[in-house]
């Protein structure tokens, strides 16, 4: 009965998603995407237009999904395995209770709720006294500053207190509410891959009751900058969830593929994420802290002393872990989500 109700909810979600998308659609971008797909695929524009509409009706795929996932190259069976934006939104609405989502998305609340998995010092600048700040800086002269509700790496700064000219305490106190964190030192294998950034794992879990399952994972790798974020010059590559192995080349936002890192020469394809069993154990335990938020994307740093949580995301994206170069036989991750949810 529960699964029948879930399917009915998902079907209703399709209709609501379609109506909302039609009302909110940027039609200029829509036709631009048709032109882009035509240039890339050589397919007739009328066919692309009709196929985009069909994918919206049947798979809850917007025109961005259609182009990004290259759905014009997929058959019906393959298309049914893609977690599209509409499907992802439906999952979040169904399994993530909005009353509990701030426990994860607010970085201060997150630090308190998940302190046993943080394994580093942090300071709340909204309440910190000058004495507490001075003590933190004395212990950690180089630290990370993060906005409490920032996303996608935006607003994050790496600060060297010795290089700041002025009253750093007042600057951080009055500028915007931030949390300060001790810098983490990644595992030596990940350091060799790219030493200028902390190369983190994003692990997606689904929690239902007392059971937490890992449904997808990928490694983010920096490429010259001190951040590893895909939208800020980094690369991404899926991780085999059962063993922590990398079997694909990494991909950057310009669609370049890398078997080896272009700056360090370290092999990416074939790379083994260290201490992977410990990563899995940690995120499964973390999933039970706020089980009312069923789908979470955990950002994990693996250190020589074990894994630690950087942050959690209660609305993880649906795109990065199923990009075309990383899909075997065109198959997406929807079957993994359904297995975790008990839907076949």
Supply the mean pLDDT for the chain: 90
Euclidean distance between CA atoms 119 and 106, whole angstroms? 18
Domain boundaries, the chain: 2-95, 121-182, 186-313
Give per-residue burial for 246-256: e unless 16+ CB within 10 Å, then b.
Answer: bebbbbbeeee
Strands 157-160 and 306-313: unpaired
Give per-residue pLDDT as tens, 18-68. Answer: 666 666 777 789 999 999 999 999 999 999 999 999 999 999 999 999 999
Q: What is the mean pLDDT of residues 72-81?
A: 97
Across residues 5-13, what is the average pLDDT? 58
Model's pTM, two decimal places? Answer: 0.88
Q: What are 132-175's pLDDT values in tens digits?
A: 999 999 999 999 998 876 655 567 888 999 898 888 999 888 86
CATH architecture of 186-313: 2-Layer Sandwich (3.30)
pLDDT digits (tens, 9 = 90+) for 202-260: 999 999 999 999 999 999 999 876 665 666 668 999 999 999 999 999 999 889 999 99
* pLDDT (0 to 100) of residue 17: 58
Q: Which residue has the higher pLDDT, 230 or 283?
A: 283
142, 158 contact by CB (below 8 A)? yes
pLDDT, tens digit, 9 for 90 and up, residues 79-97 = 999 999 999 999 999 999 9
121-182 placed in CATH 1.10.287: no
d(CA 266, CA 73): 33
């Amino acid at each position: 009965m529960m699964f029948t109700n879930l399917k009915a909810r998902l079907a209703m979600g399709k209709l609501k998603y379609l109506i909302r998308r039609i009302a909110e659609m940027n039609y200029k971008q829509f036709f631009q995407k048709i032109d882009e797909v035509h240039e890339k695929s050589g397919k007739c524009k009328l066919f692309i237009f009709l196929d985009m509409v069909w994918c919206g009706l049947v798979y809850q795929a917007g025109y961005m999904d259609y182009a990004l996932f290259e759905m014009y190259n997929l058959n019906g069976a393959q298309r049914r395995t893609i977690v599209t934006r509409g499907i992802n939104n439906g999952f979040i609405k169904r399994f993530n209770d909005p009353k509990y989502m701030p426990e994860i998305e607010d970085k201060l609340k997150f630090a308190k709720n998940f302190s046993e998995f943080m394994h580093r010092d942090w300071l709340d600048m909204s309440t910190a006294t000058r004495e507490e700040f001075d003590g933190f800086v004395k212990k950690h002269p180089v630290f990370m500053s993060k906005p409490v509700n920032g996303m996608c790496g935006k607003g994050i700064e790496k600060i060297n207190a010795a290089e700041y000219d002025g009253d750093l305490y007042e600057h951080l106190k009055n500028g915007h509410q931030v949390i300060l964190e001790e810098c983490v030192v990644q595992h030596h294998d990940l350091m060799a891959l790219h030493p200028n950034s902390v190369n983190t794992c994003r692990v997606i879990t689904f929690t239902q009751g007392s059971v937490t399952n890992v449904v997808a994972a990928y490694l983010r790798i920096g490429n010259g900058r001190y951040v590893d974020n895909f939208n800020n010059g980094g690369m991404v590559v899926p991780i085999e969830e059962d063993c922590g192995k990398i079997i694909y080349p990494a991909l950057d936002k310009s669609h370049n593929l890398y078997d080896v890192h272009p700056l360090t020469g370290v092999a990416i394809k074939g790379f083994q994420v260290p201490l992977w069993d410990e990563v899995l154990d940690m995120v499964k335990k973390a999933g039970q802290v706020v089980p009312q938020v069923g789908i979470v994307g955990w950002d994990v740093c693996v250190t020589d002393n074990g894994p630690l949580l950087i942050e959690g995301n209660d609305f993880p994206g649906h795109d990065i872990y199923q990009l075309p170069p990383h899909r075997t036989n065109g198959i997406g991750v929807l079957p993994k989500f359904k297995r975790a949810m008990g839907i076949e």
